[in-house]
Chain A
């Protein structure tokens, strides 16, 4: 509140200084054109500049925006020799020039030869509003939205009129909403109680933080210097508007928690879905599964090293590469170790743990023990702003979609291909499958390779989310086994649903318990759950379940 009053005082003081009648203000001849007006900028005083800026804006010349934006940014310079205007970019020891009027590059200059055209805070404020008014007519929706926000930062009758004029012609509903909210916000200061009431009702739609704060202030009657709302009816309206906003916000935060949970769950699913094949379908406990993911992550790193110019494409290239690398490593593990231990799951567990130690140390020796930097391509960065309270980062959205795609492909392989048919046959009855002419050994190797290859793909995704280091796999191995058992061994659907459910539960608990405690709760819950239902959520039925 105090700062607002201070800001207002400053505006008033600055305004009165500018309007000081003792200062002669030169006004240009009406109809002066853009280059003439611009040329007068370098020599003008601050108060003259103020008038000039207004006149320049009124010429509606297409070059106005560039010129004023440069002036605001402090990159508009004039050359000392001839007074020509340039937009300047600073290079190492000299300035790179772009002609402000023609837009052409104009070589370089020494800093000493150029003079910056100065602006003060008062001018900056006006420039911002002027530019915003300019942007309001821009064909770019984001620019218009930014302009509305800029104008609303310092509301005056002129800009209100501007926004009111814009409202009926504005094509975008989002921008219209922003304008209406802004106008209503201005209306809150009105002396007319009806106008205020209407404004409060309009603002009940908005999720803006400023709006929320204003409305909260309006729930109290004015007392000892604090601003407030004298009319009790409006106070009540403000209260119910706040309630409406709160409802909306909590709804959106539920949506956000749900989406974040799904994305975290997708990471779990991605890590576990390869295991759902090797452990769930084949019954092999592969403790090196995490390290196969690690290999996938390192494959991404190597692919990026090989194609540093195409980081955006590198992730796409890395997916098949990681599938091959981890898949081949998986087949090697199956042929070398697991094959000799079928029917002895506990021994398999120990032997594959040994393999995981060897792989970790190998990576440590080849790539060093430190984390490797894997770059995030442009198209994965940033976030999708749905409204003022709900924003989802793109990598979360992509991971949800990616996991689901992997899941569908896997399901298709298992249900629609010959390999899938053979895998299911072998897992149901090995001897019978063999008798029917299925090469069970080959199927074993291929199945293990498939599960391992998917672990590699999971590694590509993980390289975008966590640190790529030798311990990457270890941190996921306990979780992924729990997800597979929770979902029901031998059931790929169970893994998908179980992983996502656990992710959501984890995210729901996080605000109350903190990340680590939430994870502990989930683990304890899983332990209890498996103790109650050892076969998981969706147990396999029939003879295969006896295995």
Chain B
């Protein structure tokens, strides 16, 4: 843990100074934080510059996805752990905050029960299951947002990394993990609303979730959280521990022979990534207003990985770019050409892995390098060179 904090090589500022893409990304994020409230709240509705509440929500959703993508990039791009189960951590964070929001509904539910959420009344339950206690308090729920995914990642990662499960094997069992959780959350008896999950939320911390002001504050929090996530990850990557982690990615055995505790580095990164995914989920649920077990589906988790791959792995900001590109395309296609979406997504998977190993960001970096061969920013320095030494 010590390595994470001290950042001997110069700390956060030094980390940002050398990170051109990151600087650009932070500038854009800052612009978004300033412009969106202005365009949404101050510009009158008739104006061409007005940004609708729908767009704000959509942007908020993309931003939570971008956080999730950063979390995946942290383990995949820098650790070489391809997790196909990050959707599970995201969903767990979402369910934790969803339970708080359900308790906040109180007597305003369809059945008007002050304690039990509607679905429990519907299932004829008489009292709150034990694991629902405490979720009426926001601090507790906020703690669980981190604790639930964090503990799962800790236990799972501890067992997996200790036995040196790696590569595709790890991918397969992370996928099985999220699949098992999906099956579990689909069951009504689990006490998480079964098929329908949670929805119809009323308010958060006493503020109505329908009010434009609340939604704007939520949006700003989400955007700030993305910025914070980015800075935290950048800081860790630039620290001494970050260097070790990349060494583990590129040559695991060598790092081990040099005396580094490979397992602990991997485990802490995995847990941190799960915590970030959980936070993203917790911001996603109030933004979007629903959480259900399909968030756990293995296909969802694979999709997150493709956001990162398309943006460019091992750059962090590439993950953000990828999340925005793919999700914007998804919004566009599912509205305009619904049957084309899966073709487009499938083709993206194939083409990006075949032709764009460094993603869109890598492509742009290469273009810049070509036009300004002397001092321009090179392709991302941290980008994995040849990650899978194993294989044939």
Contacts and interface: CB of A to CB of B under 8 A. Distances in A.
Interface of A: 283, 285, 287, 337, 340-351, 353-358, 360-361, 364-365, 430, 474, 477-478, 481-482, 485, 516-517, 519-520, 523-524, 526-528, 530-534, 547
Nearest to A521: B180
Interface in B262-320: 298-299, 302, 305-306, 309
Contacts of A360: 342
B41 to A, nearest CB: 40
B190 to A, nearest CB: 10
Contacts of B184: 516-517, 520
A190 B357 CA distance: 88
Nearest to B166: A534
B354 A351 contact: yes
Interface in B76-133: 82, 84
Interface stretch (B14-22, B55-63, B157-165): B157-165
B179 interface: yes
B183 A481 contact: no
Given A357-B346, A474-B299, A344 B388 contact: yes
Closest 10 CB pairs of A and B: A354-B349, A357-B346, A358-B346, A361-B342, A343-B391, A523-B180, A531-B159, A354-B346, A351-B353, A354-B350
Contacts of B173: 482, 485, 526-527, 530-531
B343 interface: yes
A527 B177 contact: yes
Contact of A485 (B82, B169, B339): B169
Given A341-B354, A354-B346, A527 B176 contact: yes
Given A481-B175, A527-B176, A534 B169 contact: yes
Given A481-B175, A482-B176, A528-B159, A364 B339 contact: yes
Given A344-B391, A354-B345, A337 B350 contact: yes
A145 B110 CA distance: 59
B168 A346 contact: yes
B105 to A, nearest CB: 28
Given A344-B391, A519-B183, 8 more contacts: A337-B350, A345-B390, A349-B82, A358-B347, A360-B342, A527-B176, A530-B165, A547-B391
8 contacts: A346-B167, A349-B84, A350-B302, A350-B349, A356-B346, A474-B299, A485-B169, A524-B180
Given A516-B187, A528-B159, A534-B169, A353 B349 contact: yes
Nearest to A354: B349
B177 to A, nearest CB: 6
Given A342-B392, A354-B349, A365-B339, A478 B176 contact: yes
Interface string B170-193: 011101110110011011000000
B348 interface: yes
Contacts of B306: 350, 353-354
Nearest to B306: A350
A364 B338 CA distance: 12
A288 to B, nearest CB: 10
Contacts of B176: 478, 481-482, 523, 526-527
Contacts of B84: 349
Contacts of B171: 285, 346, 349
Contacts of A354: 306, 345-350, 353
A527 B392 CA distance: 25
Nearest to B178: A478
A474 B390 CA distance: 28
A271 to B, nearest CB: 15
A531 B165 contact: yes
Contact of B391 (A345, A520, A528): A345
A513 to B, nearest CB: 11
B172 A357 contact: no
Contacts of B354: 337, 340-341, 351
Contacts of A523: 176, 179-180, 183
Contacts of B348: 354
Contacts of A342: 391-392
Contact of A534 (B165, B177, B180): B165
B342 A358 contact: yes
A273 B299 CA distance: 22
B172 A547 contact: no
Contacts of A364: 339, 342
Interface in B228-278: none
A427 to B, nearest CB: 9
Interface string B327-339: 0000000000001
B168 A349 contact: yes
A516 B186 contact: yes
B91 to A, nearest CB: 16
B107 to A, nearest CB: 33
A357 B342 contact: yes
A353 B301 CA distance: 12
A478 B168 contact: no
Contacts of B390: 345, 547
Given A345-B167, A481-B175, A358 B180 contact: no
Contacts of B343: 357-358, 361
Q: B162, B180, B388 — which one has the most chain A CB atoms within 10 A of its CB?
A: B180
Contacts of B169: 485, 530, 534
A361 B345 CA distance: 11
Nearest to A369: B339
Contacts of A351: 349-350, 353-354
B388 A343 contact: yes
Contacts of B82: 346, 349
Contacts of A517: 184, 187
Contacts of A530: 165, 169, 172-173
A423 to B, nearest CB: 14
B346 A534 contact: no
Contacts of A358: 342-343, 346-347, 350
Contacts of A528: 159
A349 B353 CA distance: 10
Contacts of A348: 353
Nearest to A341: B353
